[in-house]
Chain A
């Protein structure tokens, strides 16, 4: 199977499952597919730095979580009618998805700029530990900050609104998420093929050589990191709308690990790879979870085997070509 064919298969599968859910009148299938699309989108963000840029960030839960809290907090204020702040400018909450997405993207980008400009001063194992530590810092902050529910999280009761659509309808919400996903993947594909994408790829392979032709490696990586944070934050905002609930667990380091697993299972540096990975992970969670409550034990063993023996992930396996990441 060529990579293009493998991607088409992923898209068709992602569309087929909610369709089957509608026909069979099993709405939980639609919700499951929506979850896959959103978690996959978070992986698309990480893939940009991990797959294309070779930066092993173990802190992407931070962006996922900040996107989630943007959605939760804005919706909470809209619902309660309390202003978000009264000074220096009066700001209220909102239940408009478009506004929430934009704010989530901006907040994710800013946080990534802050964390990235510190952590990208280092490489290798330092970078891994530092991204993890900063994500953990935000995790503890949300737990100990009582205004938005602290450890208990914050429910938002109704989904936010978009163009007067009935967003509570599972299929409608799935289609919204799907359209966002397709747009983001299209944009990422343009970025990857652009001069910037080529430079990013070159920085991953040999930074010294890139520097010697006059391209600043740090700036390239930082820009990629910021874009990556913005995409994962957008996924976080959608995730909160799906569950109508935001809690610190979105920020826990297990989330960072899981997002990374989506990318690896799917195959690094492949556009639709993270969606395939998220689909496989959710599938395993459902199937193994129905057989044993200790499903994570088996997922762990499976992951070890995949990493040691099947480097290309699903997309690499099906298209018979091994990945070049790592």
Chain B
């Protein structure tokens, strides 16, 4: 197997992981601060992608589309938080699961109603099209490199936000004691809405960026949502650092598993059998990774004990 192929797949895994981080960061923040499990986080990803596609087809500008994806997802997140989620913070997890599952039905059908059942396609902006020669003779798509860079920048910004700013201080205070920060006069309702909208905007951004590589369609957020859950279980609930490490671990493991496992089995099985066995095992690999982490550290790599 050529080294450039492996290097390319490592980069693809990194890009996948960085996007998973954007999804997981919002989920883990919302869980850490409000104690809410939000299954509809994948719908916010989808809303971001559709908003981007709609604005791009109307204006022709990818950058306006990207801004629209952030705005639309944040607005949808804030709206949902104010109208529904607020009533759920005091309820059990079962009610949260049910209401947010119902929200998925509403959002998915709603989008299908407006945009129709066919997938939309987003083009990569011309500025970012093409490939870049990397050392070692690998030509890698510029767009994916930019995604990696953008994702890492957002991650760094998020760390700064949480550790250095007043909002971040309140978020951390909210994680450790909700009642107390309300008692000392922080407007807890506004804080919750802000955290929810921030998480939603990150998801919407991820949706728009990934929508340009794949396609924009109803239900696109759900596989990503479940992977984000795996990331959070591995990293530990409420930990942004855990989400970053978990996301990159999942992204790289999944991508490399799909490349290497069939090749590994081909060394001692018939080619057809090897491809089938390798592919099915590769599709299970990250869940096995999750099981392993769970077995060794039930609270996740960076979490408190569950």
Contacts and interface: CB of A to CB of B under 8 A. Distances in A.
B283 A56 contact: no
A145 B109 contact: no
B291 A125 contact: no
A208 interface: no
B127 interface: no
Nearest to B35: A125
B229 to A, nearest CB: 4
B280 A58 contact: no
A297 interface: yes
Contact of B93 (A125, A147, A253): A125
A253 B226 CA distance: 9
Interface in A121-151: 121-126, 128-130, 132-134, 136-137, 140-141, 143-147
Contacts of B98: 260-261, 264, 303, 307
Contacts of B222: 253
A326 B92 contact: yes
A281 to B, nearest CB: 12
Contact of A300 (B94, B106, B113, B276): B106
A297 B105 contact: yes
Contacts of B306: 121-124, 126
A303 B102 contact: yes
Contacts of B237: 125-126
A308 B92 CA distance: 12
Contacts, number: 123
Contacts of B99: 303-304, 307-308
A148 to B, nearest CB: 11
Contacts of B93: 56, 124-125, 128
A118 B289 CA distance: 13
Nearest to A130: B233
A283 B283 CA distance: 36
A137 B284 contact: yes
Contacts of A137: 283-284, 287-288
A79 interface: no
Given A144-B279, A294-B113, A118 B95 contact: no
Given A303-B105, A307-B98, A121 B233 contact: no
A294 B283 contact: no
A134 B280 CA distance: 14
A121 B92 CA distance: 19
Contact of B226 (A119, A123, A133, A144): A133
Q: Label chain A's interface by main secondary structure.
A: helix
A46 to B, nearest CB: 12
B298 A301 contact: no
A132 B226 contact: yes
A136 B294 contact: no
Nearest to A114: B291
A296 interface: yes
A134 B302 CA distance: 21
Contacts of B102: 299-301, 303-304, 307
A42 B291 CA distance: 26
Contact of A118 (B84, B103, B276, B295): B295
B295 A145 contact: no
B235 to A, nearest CB: 12
Interface string B270-302: 000000100110111001101100110010000
Interface of A: 50, 56, 58, 118-119, 121-126, 128-130, 132-134, 136-137, 140-141, 143-147, 253, 257, 260-261, 264, 294-297, 299-301, 303-304, 307-308, 325-326
16 contacts: A56-B94, A122-B298, A125-B37, A126-B237, A129-B37, A129-B232, A130-B290, A133-B230, A134-B287, A141-B280, A147-B276, A294-B113, A297-B106, A297-B110, A297-B113, A304-B103
Given A123-B306, A136-B287, A145-B280, 19 more contacts: A56-B97, A118-B291, A121-B294, A126-B298, A126-B306, A128-B37, A128-B97, A133-B290, A134-B291, A136-B226, A140-B283, A257-B101, A295-B109, A296-B105, A300-B105, A304-B102, A308-B84, A308-B99, A326-B92
